Chains A and B, each alone.
Chain A
Amino acid sequence: MICQFCKKNNATIHFTNVDGNKVVKIHICRSCAEAKGFDYLKRSNFEKTDLLAGLVSSALPEKGGARRRCEHCGRTYAAFSKSAGLGCSKCYDSFGEEIAKVLKRIHGNARHLGKSPRRYCTEKVHARRRIRALEDELRISVELENYERAARLRDEIADLKKGMEKR
């Protein structure tokens, strides 16, 4: 199909606009699209961005709202909510609880499980993770009324916690 605008190139972009009750089909080549400033066509990830913006902006910070800023890089919550993009690693602290909410919406979870850099692989970190996992199991055991197992887990957790304090 030939581009409607230059009538020369192959139209590689096709979209349908609904204007009132009229449906307008547009077939356009990339260079005409770029020349005409259909900027969003150049952004390959507009779909993702739009969806995420909705998720992020629905969790506005209580203090400062959209104008809240990361002190380290200056990024505002408003900028974050436009693209789900953060300015620096400190943003994760600056927008702390709001970020946790957003992450929970995106991932269904807000706590990392898995690999960590070597400098984090201390015994203390391992113990803390182990405790977290055991606590989850304990909660489930109680829900299932498996009290024998729950008691064992509770003891194990207590031992681990005592071990951590000694170090």
Chain B
Amino acid sequence: MKQKQLQRLLKNPASWLAEGGEESELVFATRVRLARNIDGRKFTYCAEASELTLVRDEVRDALALAPSMKGSIFLDMNDTTEPERMILAERRLISHDMVRRFTNRGLAVARGEKLSVMVNEEDHIRLQSFESGLAVCEAFDRVSRLDDDLDGSLEFAFSDRFGYLTACATNVGTGLRVSAMVHLPGLVHNGDIRQVSDGLRHVRLSVRGSYGEGSEVVGNFFQISNLITLGLSESDTVKNMDSHIRKVLEFEKKARETLLKEARSLLEDKIWRAYGILKNARMLDSREAMGLISAVRLGVGLGIVTDTGLSDLNEILIMIQPMHLQMLYEKVMGPDERDRSRADYIRSRLKAS
């Protein structure tokens, strides 16, 4: 039963990927997470295995009672294989750290993958919510409702002075991290991306490659997140993030307009060439594929490419990751074979559309 549920989850990309949503031409996804710990239990840095198992079971039982997690599945990470965990990480349902360190950890996933809970990652509980496009409020409301659901059955570590107590001092207070995965080819092209990210750092936001901490920028995808969790309420954090991100999008739109006005033929040429390579290549490594998809995604956003859509491209971005490819083709593949399968898969997807 459980194995079947896991297989179903792994085989089908998250339904929210295809939902579009506001500003989806520029924003791949919005993610909101809340960090919580159980009062009286040691944090994961210090807890012994027995304590972690207790936490895992307590959280699993509480989740079973939570209305917003109705119909969800709970995975004991001890029962998963490394490839399965790698797929979950490529989906952003678990952290990369959790692929290697998985004992006594757990994951709950609600239907459609919009809501999920990591158990015993850095904090006992990490609630996270995904939305397609820019939807900071919606994502926060969903995750906050689950927080309320759990508040009845679990006692969270909290102090009046410091708020929700977390394993790392950087998350204490609200435990709230809002991230938007944004696609900014225009700002990268005109070079303003540096100024924009400096500006965002100035208002204490972080700008990184789309795979989170320490990751590089590929395909012009960036992740913008808030850093401050103490002294700023949830509603102010949500409001600020929404307005800062919209400001960045405004700059990106202007950059795209200028590009169109000043170098339309060059831009169109670049986009159509990228589309041509994607439709015909026989070998594609992931860096090249991401770069080409970035160009076509820009083409779709500008109305230049009309025979494929954002939801297809979003799904392709997920499916061409190394472990997803190996699951799709049902075999273990080395880098060369993966590059071949990646090209095959992309060709088949873009022809069909």
Chain A contacts for B106, CB-based, 8 A: none
Q: Find B214's partner among A9, A46, A85, A112 (CB 8 Å cutoff).
A: A46
Per the bound structure, the CA–CA distance linking A7 and B166 in Å amounts to 44
Which of under 10, 10 to 19, 20 to 34, or 35 or more describes the interface residues of B? Answer: 35 or more
Question: Are B231 and A112 closer than 8 Å at their CB atoms?
Answer: yes
Tell me how far the C-beta of B146 lies from the nearest C-beta in chain A, rounded to whole angstroms: 13
Question: Are B170 and A84 closer than 8 Å at their CB atoms?
Answer: yes
Interface of B is mostly: loop
Instruction: Give the segment of B64-72, B154-162, B247-255, B345-353 that binds chain A.
Output: B154-162
Question: Are A107 and B173 closer than 8 Å at their CB atoms?
Answer: yes
Question: Are A115 and B228 closer than 8 Å at their CB atoms?
Answer: no
Per the bound structure, the CA–CA distance linking A107 and B177 in Å amounts to 13
Question: Are B234 and A115 closer than 8 Å at their CB atoms?
Answer: yes
Question: Are B234 and A92 closer than 8 Å at their CB atoms?
Answer: no
Is B22 part of the contact surface with A, judged by Cβ < 8 Å? Answer: no
Question: Are B167 and A114 closer than 8 Å at their CB atoms?
Answer: no
Per the bound structure, the CA–CA distance linking A115 and B145 in Å amounts to 12
Is A110 part of the contact surface with B, judged by Cβ < 8 Å? Answer: yes
Given contacts A44-B214, A99-B169, A120-B160, contact A114 B174 (CB under 8 A): yes
Is B213 part of the contact surface with A, judged by Cβ < 8 Å? Answer: yes
Is B151 part of the contact surface with A, judged by Cβ < 8 Å? Answer: yes
Tell me how far the C-beta of B266 lies from the nearest C-beta in chain A, rounded to whole angstroms: 29
Q: Find A115's partner among B40, B41, B100, B144 (CB 8 Å cutoff).
A: B144
Give residues in A with beta carbon < 8 Å to B: 9-10, 42, 44-48, 52, 56, 73-75, 80, 83-89, 92, 99-100, 102-103, 106-120, 125, 128
**Beyond known contacts A84-B168, A85-B168, A86-B166: 4 more, CB 8 A cutoff:** A88-B41, A89-B37, A107-B228, A111-B231
List 25 contacting pairs A-B, 8 Å CB cutoff, sorted by A: A9-B335, A44-B96, A44-B97, A44-B214, A45-B213, A48-B214, A52-B169, A80-B169, A83-B168, A84-B170, A87-B42, A87-B43, A87-B46, A92-B162, A92-B165, A99-B169, A103-B172, A106-B230, A109-B228, A111-B231, A112-B160, A113-B231, A114-B173, A114-B176, A115-B233
